[in-house]
Chains A and B, each alone.
Chain A
Amino acid sequence: MAENTYSYYPGCSLHGTGKAYDLSARAVCRHLGIELRELQDWNCCGATSAHALDSWAAIALPGRNAAIAERAGLDVAVPCAACYSRQKTCEKALQEDQQARERLEKEMSFSYTGRARFKHLLEIIVKDYGLERLREKLTAPLTGVRAVGYYGCLLVRPPDVVGFDDPEDPRTLDDVILASGAELANWYAKTDCCGGSLALVRPDVCGQMVARILQQAKEAGADCIVVACPLCHSNLETRQPMASKLLRTDFEIPVLYFTEMLGLAMGLPPKRLGLNTHLISPRKILRRKPQAVGAAATVGGPAQRGPERQEEVAGEEEADG
């Protein structure tokens, strides 16, 4: 099996409102030579609703997926942050809770060896595949696009369950933005909650939470917000009108999946990435002409720590270019 082959767990959203994420994820992975094999007959991970109402189902639903993954024998790429969180919680239970593990192995008829680890797609691309290799493939840098990385909650918290990035100041999406040639704006709402599943039933509450995030993105001068979760994407997009009303302003900030951003930076056609399905049009970003292959191909160094990061990165660009 090629080292770049993974099982693929899209999750329910990616077959629905998150279609663009599925399209762009597949397109990007194909371009990078990462093979994704969708898990056979996977089921819903349970998301928030399962653990809110039924603590066994909350473990057993992802447990069934873990059994399927075990049989497939490969690490699993998970694009949705919520699914990722649920699968990692189940993984932790399988590793640390003997009772839960025995019950799951019995009910799902499998034997857990831990060889099929669940990883978020962001982790696979940034850490497994690696930024160095990635940058070589990003031949159409998004110069002039100013972006912020929005991580949300479940991707980075709690650190002992999901922790592949820092829970207070994560950097992986920032690395992706810089690698794509875009300008990284510094902002402080990286891990603020978007409201999650409250969106449909308490749009008033969700709207306030989204408003906070959008306001900070606007103050940071962002042209777009880059996300790694279909529910965050949905909330940040669909609640923009309400947020605008609440703060008496007019937000129109497109929200991109990080795979869409990477896809654009690879020169892939926007329609293939699902960019036509967005409610808030990313046309401002699409209007940028991708530069010719080879020019400034190595823009964007690794994200530095420190509030003076922007100036440091600018310095690096000058040195390279």
Chain B
Amino acid sequence: MARIGVFVCHCGTNIAKTVDVDRVAAAAARMPNVAYATTYLYMCSDPGQNIIKEAVKEHSLDRIVVAACSPSLHEKTFQKCAEAAGLNPYFSEMANIREQCSWVHSDREEATAKAIKLVQMAVARAYYDQELYQSQIPVHRRALVIGGGVAGIQAALDVAASGYEVVLVERTPSIGGRMAQFDKTFPTLDCAACILTPKMVEVASDPNVKIVTYAEVESVSGFLGNFEAVIRRRARSVRMDACNGCGVCYQKCPSKKIPSEFNAGLGTRTAIYVPFPQAVPNVPVIDRENCRYFLTGKCRICEKVCSAQAIDFDQQDEILKEQFGAIIVATGIDVLDHSIYGEYGYGRYPDVISGLQLERLINAGGPTQGILKRPSDGKEPESVVFIQCVGSRDDSKGFPYCSKVCCMYTAKHTILLKEKHPETEIYSFYIDIRSTGKGYEEFVRRAQEEFGVHYLRGRVSRVYPRGDKMVVMGVDSLLGQQVEVEADLVVLATAAQARSDAKELARKLNVATDRYNFFTEAHPKLRPVETLTAGVFLAGACQFPKDIPDSVASGSAAAAKVASMFSKPFLLSEPTVAEVLPLTCVGCLNCQSVCPFNAIDEVAFVNPLTREEKKVAKVNEGLCNGCGTCVAACYSSSIQLRGFTDEQIFRQIETALAP
């Protein structure tokens, strides 16, 4: 026997308009095992919850059924309410008579009958509820930050400042990410390196942060609070403890023609190199695929000139196995390769470049020392055309989304060029201007009003060479006229896209990516830095293109989530997970093969009666997400999902089918 209390919510008019809640309560009062039934306007409110608590006391209820909205909204609310009333929180059930009834039907009679049926089913299920308790999970108070761009750096700084250890893993030889490649930043026109390098130095010297560069995360196992990551630190061929950063090695290196990744394919670097002068750590790396010694066995000049004897050609990759409680993914974005556009030259015209490449050309640390020389003949351009939305807002060849930052960085480019060479003719072809941050709209207006940049509304159809100029075939849709501009240099604002290996990393971390391979957040509005995998957080543009302020903010937000996690003595795990009944389990491990979370292990079990040993399945409760797939796959019904047992579900079905 049980004493179930049924509480039917009006939800204002959301439910009551279509469902006769009083009749539902009256019907509920007559159901078996129901000791009390009532209605209220808003059950989730404080007075509503008080009604429940008082009813539990007054009528000695031992289970509650709340007929209201979806459990995805208020399951926790009513579980806490039951707990406050002195009951085990898992003796609380919900019948969804809103999303699954009043919101999808219009006939009052039929809707009310369905609501009553739903309550009946919930009551039948509640009868079989068991006492369940959350278990404690220990937390390893160390965070892993994957990606050393500004978002990752900020996240590492904030977690470290909260008093916890951080390991920051970066794939390239230096931290800094995309921001290190920028010349100036909008809208303040701060020099990017000047504002970033202090943060880089800060994070490098923070005693709580260990930076591991030229390294990648190979695999991650474990669960919330208890992750183990295997990190491969690639061999730099330079001993970090010996190198003093003098730089003689890369000055003397004879292999000088390797395309520079940092300079976005413009300009070259040597085989032993640091990506940029302010690199952190300021220790060079030997690119073994292009180093003469590794290719032919000859050279070793760097070794000869190194005064610190830091060159080590025999250095091996190092595998680090580390434990973490939380992981922050901050791997950033790539830039679309515009060679897919035949109408813009298939990447074959040297004077048609991307925005990132222009950034490197005008930067003092770039391939032309900051003097804007066009790639084909080194001439300083007298006319420059900017084409926005290349690859963005393009369903056919690129991506349908807007890359968010291009309108701003294009305006920035035009201002920077005009500042240095006011006589340059600059045209910018746009579809819309998206300047939604603080000071952003005013910044774009400056480009037009103060610097005289001509903004023409219309997407460019084609760019082709004529003589030593590029002809841009565009249109001004405000005038309704086709326009043709002859330019010395054409700059394409190419789309920001997810990194090519984002999906692979997501798989390693067991997190989802969307159709563009950006990491998927737990809720697009309310949980932007969490994922649906507990313990894994997101920061920066790997979730979606962002400008610097948003990247920094999300880095701090992710760090706050981690710090709050680490601040608890232990974490609590939901008990509604699967459980194996070893007596009847035959050890076929079918459950293991279907489990999407790798949460089932094989263990030995000794039957207490017969003393026979057999292998059986066992659920790792920390990893189990309670999806129930294993229950469906078990041939011997030896695995059950707590809170969703076969018995409960069958009773619900029977109730549903009964007249």
Contacts and interface: CB of A to CB of B under 8 A. Distances in A.
The answer to whether A and B touch directly, with their CB atoms under 8 angstroms apart, is yes
A320 interface: no
B464 A188 contact: yes
Contacts of A166: 342
B464 A307 contact: no
A168 B345 CA distance: 8
B440 interface: no
A3 interface: no
Interface string A196-225: 000000000000000000001001000000
Interface string A158-190: 000000001111000000000000000000100
A305 interface: yes
B337 to A, nearest CB: 16
Contacts, number: 19
Interface in B466-523: 466-467
B466 A169 contact: no
A105 B601 CA distance: 62
A168 B461 CA distance: 11
Interface string B328-353: 00000000000000110010110000
Q: Which of A169, A216, A219, A305 has the most CB of B within 10 A?
A: A169
Interface residues of A, number: 10
Contact of B342 (A169, A216, A219, A306): A169
B370 interface: no
B349 A307 contact: yes
B466 A168 contact: no
B520 to A, nearest CB: 32
Contacts of B342: 166-169
A167 B342 CA distance: 8
Given A166-B342, A168-B342, A168-B343, A305 B465 contact: no
A167 B462 CA distance: 12
Contacts of B464: 188
Given A188-B464, A188-B466, A219-B466, A169 B346 contact: yes
Main SS class of interface, A: loop
Contacts of B465: 188, 307
Main SS class of interface, B: mixed
Contacts of A167: 342
A306 B342 CA distance: 13
B275 to A, nearest CB: 29
A166 B466 CA distance: 21
A306 B343 CA distance: 15
Nearest to A167: B342
A167 B467 CA distance: 23
Nearest to A215: B466
Interface string A292-307: 0000000000000111
A307 B343 CA distance: 15
B341 to A, nearest CB: 8
B346 A168 contact: yes
Contacts of A219: 466-467
B313 to A, nearest CB: 37
Nearest to B463: A188
Contacts of A188: 464-466
Contacts of A168: 342-343, 346
A167 B465 CA distance: 17
Nearest to A190: B464
A307 B467 CA distance: 13
Interface in A264-321: 305-307
A164 B342 CA distance: 15
Given A167-B342, A169-B342, A306 B348 contact: yes
Contacts of B346: 168-169, 305
Contacts of A216: 466
Given A188-B465, A188-B466, A219-B466, A305 B343 contact: no
A168 B473 CA distance: 14
Nearest to A306: B348
Nearest to A308: B348
A172 to B, nearest CB: 15
Interface string B308-343: 000000000000000000000000000000000011
Interface string B233-277: 000000000000000000000000000000000000000000000
Nearest to B376: A307
A198 B575 CA distance: 77
A72 B171 CA distance: 62
A305 B466 contact: no
Nearest to B343: A168
Nearest to B344: A168
Contacts of B349: 307
Q: Which of B342, B343, B467 has the most CB of A within 10 A?
A: B342
Contacts of B343: 168
Contacts of B466: 188, 216, 219
Nearest to A159: B342
A216 B473 CA distance: 15
Nearest to A216: B466
14 contacts: A167-B342, A168-B342, A168-B343, A168-B346, A169-B346, A188-B464, A188-B465, A188-B466, A216-B466, A219-B467, A305-B346, A305-B348, A307-B348, A307-B349
Given A167-B342, A219-B467, 12 more contacts: A166-B342, A168-B342, A168-B343, A168-B346, A169-B346, A188-B464, A188-B465, A219-B466, A305-B348, A306-B348, A307-B348, A307-B349
Interface of A: 166-169, 188, 216, 219, 305-307
Interface of B: 342-343, 346, 348-349, 464-467
| Nearest 9 CB-CB pairings of A with B | A168-B342, A188-B464, A168-B343, A169-B342, A307-B348, A306-B348, A169-B346, A166-B342, A188-B465
